[in-house]
Every structure is written in structure tokens, then in C-alpha cells.
Structure 1
Amino acid sequence: MIVTLIIACEVGFWVLLAAGLALRYLAGMPRLGAAVLLCEPLMELVLLVVTTVDLKNGAEPDWKHGLAALYIGYTVAYGHYTVKWLDGHAAHRLAGGPKPPGPGYGKARAVHEWKLWLRTVVAAAVALGLLQAAIAYVGDAGDVSSLKAWQYGALRAVGIHALIAATYTIWPKKAPAAAEERPAPLAGSGR
């Protein structure tokens, strides 16, 4: 049931996002669109409550509960960022707004990657907190090794993301070279 709910939350996230953006930019109802977008955190709250109730009813803690904690952590850290990013692109494509700036190149790109890494740290911190709360809640009554494994997984994700961000610092992404000018076609060449 938990896995089904996680999938439903993910599908619901994208459905609400598409509906909210469509209402804002295609239907011309920006307030209603914003209200729909604000409903997204409710799905994660439902997931948290259902996971807690599942553990309270005696379910053995396993990978599903750990996955739910990581999903909630990811949504807390990246949910608003994703909505804001897609909103900027929808405003540009559907409402003639300015093109959203990209992450850039060189130092600006490295800073962007480190900011994303900080979001991953926040996601991991939320997940670690939820997992630790579940471990304390279950106590000695059950096997919590699966939940502890998810905690190590969250820490590994932070480490891997730090390595990725470091590569942008050590080997900065360079701006694409200006297109080389083509020589003018020869007269009478038919081109």
C-alpha cells in the first residue's frame, strides 16, 4: 500500500503541476492555478500520515517505509524549486514571459551545482529525521535494519552529489564556442 501511495503522490505531483500551470497560463486563471499548485504539499502530508499509521498498526519496518521517508525529504527540498523552475518555463513558452536564465557556465555553474547539493543535504536531513523518528517509534519491538540502511543511503546520496558538484568546481563547464563563420560561397558555385 505504501509503494502505491508513493507512486500516486508522484503522479499526483505532476498532474497538479500540469493542471496548475494550465490554469495559470492557458486558461488565464492565475489565482486558481496558484491554489492548485499549493495543494501539492498535502499529498506528502497524506503519505507521512499513512506511513505512520502503517507502523502504528504493527507493520514491520521495511524498505517501503524508508522509501517514503526519502520521497518526503526529496519533495521538501526540491518540490518548490521544481515548481518554480517549471513555472518560469511555462510563463516563457505559454505567456510570452522572459526566458528563464540557465545555470550558466564556469563559476556561476559551479555555484548553481553547490546550491543544488545544499538542497540534497536538506532532503537527506529531512529523511534522516523521519527515519530516526520511525526507528525510535518502533523501538526494540521490531527489526529496524532496513530503516538504518535507508539512512546510510541518504548519506551516500549527499556524498555522491558533493562529488558531482566538485567536478563543476574543478573542471568548470565552458560556454559553447561562438559558431565559426563560414566562408562565403564562391560565385557561380550554385550554393
Structure 2
Amino acid sequence: MDFWSEALQQSNIAIFIIASEVGFWVMLAAGLAARYMLRWKRTSTVLLAAVPLLDVVLLVAVVVDLLHGAKAGHIHGLAAFYLGASLAFGPALVRWGDMRFAYRFAGGPPPRKLPKHGPEKLKAMWSEWLKVVLGAAISCAVLLFLILVIATPAQADELWKWMPRAGLITGIWLLAGPVYELFAGLGQRQDETADSRSA
């Protein structure tokens, strides 16, 4: 039995997480289509501004589920992590989509591709990692709210386990992202220096 099948049997929160993710992309596409294809700027603004409401609905669903005595499990911790990631990365994803719709339907400039290595790529990797830090902080804040305000002692014990996982993910992303890029960029510059000397 896979994770989602088991999660769906334990709690309806899995449905809300999936619906939030699908809803994000549907509302993003609808908002950008309204802006660039239909020229309905006001409608587009309303649709894009309403995207964070999906996160509010998910948070309310988690609160209601715990208040009704649901056994706190992986799906509740995952919901907190999803909320953190959604709020931290959501604005950047909206900008990503906006650039591509503008290029495709409104004659905007083509989206720039980052170089494989170099200072610009390293700066982008640090920026991405800071979003991870923000997402982890939001996730921990959500978990603390659930633990201190909503959860029973038994529920809180399970939710506490997710706090160090946020730090673990942040650390892994640091090593696999900007730290890796830093050393990869140094290696490339050393190779270029060696090639220039041998030329």
C-alpha cells in the first residue's frame, strides 16, 4: 500500500492537500489566461489574489480534523510542510508562469535561462535556499500553532516529530544546492584556468 492510499484511509486531509496543489495550478493558469488571452485584468487579479485562500482552506481542514479527534499522523505533518512550501515558493511560481504567458501571448521577452555554473547560478541557488528556510519556518510555525492551541497531548507528540525534519530538509537543500554549486563553480573556473594556460 503506497503512502497516499494509506493516508486517504486515515484522514481526509490527503484529499485537501491534493486539491490544494491541483487548485493552485488551475487558478494560476486561469488567472494568467484571463490576463493575457482574454485581457480580463480585473478577473485575473482576483483569481491570482485568491490563490493563497487554498492554503487557508487546508489549514482550517487540518484544525477541524484534529479537533474532531483524528489521530495525528504523517499526513498532518505533511500538510504543515505543504503550507510552508506553498507560501514560500508560491509567489515565485506565479512570476515564473507570468513570464511565460507574457512571452507566449503578449510579446514579452523570452524567459532567461540560468547559466550552468557561475555567480548568477550561485545567487539563484542561494535565493532558492532562502525560500526553503522561509518555508521551513512557516511549517514550524504552523506545527507550533497546532501543538500549542489545537492538539491533544497524544496528537502533539506526533506533531513534534516533524519539527526536526524541517531542519533536516533545510540542511540537505543547503548542501545539495548552493554549497554544491559553489564547489562546482570553483571546479569549472579551475578547469577554465588550466585550459587557458595550456592554450
* Fold match (TM-score > 0.5): yes
Task: Return the alpha-carbon distance in structure 2 between the equivalents of residues 137 and 64 of structure 1.
Answer: 19
2:145 matched to which residue of 1? 133
Query: Which of 119, 129, 135 is equivalent to 1:123?
Result: 135
Q: 1:96-115 alignment to 2 at 5 Å?
A: 96-104=107-115, 105-115=117-127
1:179 matched to which residue of 2? none
1:187 matched to which residue of 2? none
2:75 matched to which residue of 1? 64
Task: Return the alpha-carbon distance in structure 1 between the equivalents of residues 114 and 125 of structure 2.
Answer: 8
User: What TM-score comes out, normalization by structure 2 length?
Assistant: 0.81
Note if contact 2:136-2:170 (Cα within 8 Å) is conserved in structure 1: yes
2:5 matched to which residue of 1? none
Q: Which has the higher helix share?
A: 2
Matched residue of 1:171: which SS?
A: helix
Deviation per residue, 1:85-121 (Å, 9 max, x gap): 1101110112110123333440111011001000000
The percentage of aligned residue pairs carrying the same residue is 37
Matched residue of 2:161: which SS?
A: helix
Task: Return the alpha-carbon distance in structure 1 between the equivalents of residues 152 and 69 of structure 2.
Answer: 13
Give the CA deviation at 1:139.
Answer: 6.0
Q: 1:43-62 alignment to 2 at 5 Å?
A: 43-62=54-73
1:39 matched to which residue of 2? 50
Q: Which has more radius of gyration?
A: 1
Q: 1:1-191 alignment to 2 at 5 Å?
A: 1-104=12-115, 105-137=117-149, 141-164=153-176, 165-172=178-185
Q: Which runs of 5+ in 1 are unaligned?
A: 175-191
Matched residue of 1:144: which SS?
A: helix
Q: Which shows bigger deviation, 142-151 or 162-171? A: 142-151
Task: Return the alpha-carbon distance in structure 2 between the equivalents of residues 56 and 135 of structure 1.
Answer: 12
* Count of residue pairs brought into register by the alignment: 176
Task: Return the alpha-carbon distance in structure 1 between the equivalents of residues 68 and 166 of structure 2.
Answer: 26
Taking only aligned residues, the RMSD between alpha carbons, in angstroms, comes to: 2.1
Matched residue of 1:100: which SS?
A: coil
Note if contact 1:62-1:144 (Cα within 8 Å) is conserved in structure 2: no
Task: Return the alpha-carbon distance in structure 1 between the equivalents of residues 67 and 161 of structure 2.
Answer: 21
2:9 matched to which residue of 1? none
Give the CA deviation at 1:138.
Answer: 5.2
Task: Return the alpha-carbon distance in structure 2 between the equivalents of residues 67 and 145 of structure 1.
Answer: 15
Q: Which runs of 5+ in 2 are unaligned?
A: 1-11, 189-199
CA distance 1:43–1:138, shift in 2 (3 Å): closer
Task: Return the alpha-carbon distance in structure 2 between the equivalents of residues 144 and 82 of structure 1.
Answer: 32
Paired residue type of 1:129: A
Note if contact 1:23-1:30 (Cα within 8 Å) is conserved in structure 2: yes
Task: Return the alpha-carbon distance in structure 1 between the equivalents of residues 108 and 151 of structure 2.
Answer: 53
